[in-house]
Structure 1
Amino acid sequence: MVRLSGKTIFVASVLTITTSSQGLLTSASKHEGTYRYNFATVPFLAELLKLIISSVLLQRQRQTNPDAAKVTRHLGTSMLFLVPSVIYWLHNNVQFVTLRYVDPATYQIMGNLKIVTTGLLLWLCLRRQLSALQWMALALLMIGATVSQLKTGCDGSSLFSAPLTGYMFGVVSAFMSAVAAVYTEWVMKRNNDSLYWQNMQLYSFGVAFNAFGLILGDIRGGFGGGIWLFTLFKGYDWVTILVVANLAFSGLLVSWVMKFADSILKVYATSMAMLVTTVASVLFFGLQPSLQLLLGIVTASISLVLYYISPSLLLETGKTQRLPR
């Protein structure tokens, strides 16, 4: 199990903040409910920015700590980083198809399946042993995240009113998200290469795939909006730049977590970010607080403590709290 050192807690906390900020910044970048910029350029620029930052950090590491700047130049090793890009590309398309059948709220709730799915894949593929208490903690996290997103009302609507096809795609989407996370963790930890060099390989494929997507978009649109390379920053303002920067910074933090922690910590960071976003919406955007939100936050917090608490500490607590006969 990953030990929560001060540095790990700090990185996970910042990742939670940046992840929760992404949705808020993206909403703030809208003008009268629409995007003035090509939304597909955001991930492309974020991948490019991550690639540039990783390259600069690798050069700095070579100067300050050459022993840590290990680089494996092997085509087979580099091609391993192609797989996450393919999975994420497929995942984005599955997301789009899923949202054709289910509403966003239902999609978010179904996305919580990736919490337990990530644990199962770590156990099956990476032989990661989780205790019964940790499995229960993951189940609690999934329940807490789901409860916080449930809505009540007397409109007669049902959470399970979408077509079966939508739920099937939702399950596939959650599974692919977990597969991408576990595979990325495996490929980042399989050797002692510098994190920055591994990032460069990963983000190079990310840049290529996103550029390919922009080209396809131009072709499908008959180049009516011009060529994407020459209209890259069309409609951008300072909020949109913050969206790109925040997305890039979040990606760099995720890479650090995958290299030096694990996928479960990422799951907790992103799940808690969802709750932080909801709380921020209550405080700043007039969203009405609900009992479900409170219960979700409490349940997720308990889950976090249960997953990372030391069994010996539990045992000691049990001894000290024992009632006298």
Structure 2
Amino acid sequence: MANERLIGLGNLDKNNDQIPLLNDQTSTDLKGILIENGKIEREINNGKLMGLVEVRRTTQTSSFNASIKLGVLIWLTVQNAVHALLLRYSRVRDVKEMYFSTVAVFWTEVIKLCVCLLVVFHSESSSPEGFLSGFELIKKQVFEQPKDTLKVCLPSMLYILQNNLFYTAASHLNAATFMIVSQLKIFSAAIFSIILLNRSLLRAQWISLIILFIGVCLVQMQPEDEQKQNTERKNVLSEQNVFTGFIAASIACGLSGFSGVFFEKILKGSAPVSLWMRNIQMAVFSIPASFLATMIQDGSKISEHGFMYGWDIVVWTTAFWYAVGGLSVAVCLKYADNIAKNFATSVAIILATIGSIQFFGFKPSLFFTLGATLVILSIFLYSSSTQILRFFGIYSIQSNN
């Protein structure tokens, strides 16, 4: 069967491989369910399987996997919340010298490249050629396959523009609002997947996208006097403008959705490449593009104050967290199902809101609270709509041999 993890209920003919399936999350929550080497141990009663299909699993393996999932869940939550709060703090703290966000994006790409190179060299260090094997692998998959490398050119450029816009948004929006508005990337990714990949959405998913859009709009409908209370503080940039931040975040989310779907489309049929090698390919374009962006946007200021103007431990931490955090999340996602990712995002929004209240004096309005609730609801509804409909018996999946 195509399913790697399953749980069957009801009667099963011993000559029939089809098993009625529950949702994937149910199978991971029940102990003793695992398919090893494609074999299923079955109890046969008069030629039929009665009740639950059981596959043996050691307690040690089950406990280890549960620990990994718990660790991934905690990390996804912490990474999302800290990223929003740290990015916000680095842009609004009371300092004489404020760093250039374009330079931060450039160093984020450099750090990401260094991490990926270290991982590739470490993975190849056990071979007889040692580090030379790593160089050969990079040469083969990056420079000797120019067509494959060129496929990531446009997404790389878009990611640079997207990251610069996210820095702009973080300069004008509090961390909680920034996180909530950033969820518009779900909306844009869904729309572009329909346009570019000819995918279709369930009715429940369309409803969730509408709820998401309404929720984001409500978050922006904070009364003017409360906006002033939240922005007119000593530590906040005097030129902060909520509308500017909202527009920047919205455009960034649009670029995020398009680049992600476009990336998926152009890489179909490509030779399999590791996450680390794919990021090295992207760095070939992203680093020169980000450096060019610094010269175009902040060239005159850089020539006057210097490339590393305003950099300190906070800025370095922000750039490092942006780079390494994003890579680690990409690695962790293969261990997290939709419900875990949604839970992590929802808790991160709550933590970012608490952090904004505690550290930045943010005062959530009724509109913000209602909008945030709708956004969290839409996140669960969009990604878990199949499981929800299947739970109520409305949606079914046919499993092919």
User: Scaled by the length of structure 1, what TM-score is found?
Assistant: 0.69
For residues 379 and 335 of structure 2, what CA distance do their matches in structure 1 show? 19
Query: Compared with structure 1, are the counterparts of its residues 182 and 10 closer, same or farther at alpha carbon in structure 2 (3 Å cutoff)?
Result: farther
The offset of 1:135, in angstroms, is: 2.2
Q: Which has the larger radius of gyration?
A: 2
Amino acid at match of 2:357: V
CA displacement 1:288-315 (0-9 Å, x = unmatched): 2332333233323322332333646545
For residues 186 and 297 of structure 2, what CA distance do their matches in structure 1 show? 33
Match of 2:285 in 1: 205
2:300 corresponds to 1:220: yes
Amino acid at match of 1:183: F
Match of 2:87 in 1: 26
Query: Compared with structure 1, are the counterparts of its residues 79 and 53 closer, same or farther at alpha carbon in structure 2 (3 Å cutoff)?
Result: same
After superposition, the CA RMSD in angstroms is 4.8
Match of 1:290 in 2: 365
Query: Compared with structure 1, are the counterparts of its residues 167 and 313 closer, same or farther at alpha carbon in structure 2 (3 Å cutoff)?
Result: closer
Match of 1:85 in 2: 156
Q: What is the 5 A alignment of 1:238-277?
A: 238-253=313-328, 255-256=330-331, 273=348, 276-277=351-352
Match of 1:323 in 2: none
The offset of 1:17, in angstroms, is: 3.4
The offset of 1:242, in angstroms, is: 1.2
Does the CA contact (< 8 Å) of 1:122 and 1:128 recur in 2? yes
Q: Indicate the larger mover: 90-99 or 195-204.
A: 90-99
Amino acid at match of 1:179: F
Q: Indicate the larger mover: 73-82 or 22-31.
A: 22-31
The offset of 1:18, in angstroms, is: 2.7
Does the CA contact (< 8 Å) of 1:51 and 1:204 recur in 2? no
The offset of 1:121, in angstroms, is: 0.9
Query: Compared with structure 1, are the counterparts of its residues 253 and 35 closer, same or farther at alpha carbon in structure 2 (3 Å cutoff)?
Result: farther
Q: Indicate the larger mover: 49-58 or 171-180.
A: 171-180
Does the CA contact (< 8 Å) of 2:188 and 2:254 recur in 1? yes
Match of 1:322 in 2: none
For residues 315 and 248 of structure 2, what CA distance do their matches in structure 1 show? 30
Q: What is the 5 A alignment of 1:60-209?
A: 60-62=122-124, 72=141, 73-91=144-162, 114-153=185-224, 174-187=253-266, 190-209=270-289
Secondary structure class of the residue paired with 2:101: coil
For residues 128 and 12 of structure 1, what CA distance do their matches in structure 2 show? 29
Match of 2:232 in 1: none
For residues 177 and 3 of structure 1, what CA distance do their matches in structure 2 show? 28
The offset of 1:91, in angstroms, is: 4.8
Match of 2:47 in 1: none
Amino acid at match of 1:193: V
Query: Compared with structure 1, are the counterparts of its residues 114 and 194 closer, same or farther at alpha carbon in structure 2 (3 Å cutoff)?
Result: closer
Identity %: 25
Does the CA contact (< 8 Å) of 1:15 and 1:250 recur in 2? no
Does the CA contact (< 8 Å) of 2:105 and 2:163 recur in 1? no
For residues 291 and 64 of structure 1, what CA distance do their matches in structure 2 show? 58
Query: Compared with structure 1, are the counterparts of its residues 188 and 215 closer, same or farther at alpha carbon in structure 2 (3 Å cutoff)?
Result: same
Does the CA contact (< 8 Å) of 1:44 and 1:207 recur in 2? yes
For residues 303 and 310 of structure 2, what CA distance do their matches in structure 1 show? 17
Q: Indicate the larger mover: 126-135 or 217-226.
A: 217-226
2:112 corresponds to 1:50: yes
For residues 369 and 187 of structure 2, what CA distance do their matches in structure 1 show? 22
Match of 1:309 in 2: 384
For residues 169 and 117 of structure 2, what CA distance do their matches in structure 1 show? 36
The offset of 1:97, in angstroms, is: 10
Query: Compared with structure 1, are the counterparts of its residues 303 and 167 closer, same or farther at alpha carbon in structure 2 (3 Å cutoff)?
Result: closer
Does the CA contact (< 8 Å) of 1:40 and 1:214 recur in 2? yes
Unaligned runs of 5+ in 2: 1-22, 29-65, 128-132, 229-240, 395-401
Count of equivalent residues: 302
Match of 2:40 in 1: none
Q: Indicate the larger mover: 21-30 or 71-80.
A: 21-30
The offset of 1:218, in angstroms, is: 6.7
For residues 73 and 198 of structure 2, what CA distance do their matches in structure 1 show? 24
The offset of 1:124, in angstroms, is: 2.2
Task: Compare the two structures and name the one with the higher helix fraction.
Answer: 1
Query: Compared with structure 1, are the counterparts of its residues 279 and 13 closer, same or farther at alpha carbon in structure 2 (3 Å cutoff)?
Result: same
For residues 122 and 169 of structure 2, what CA distance do their matches in structure 1 show? 43
For residues 334 and 197 of structure 2, what CA distance do their matches in structure 1 show? 14
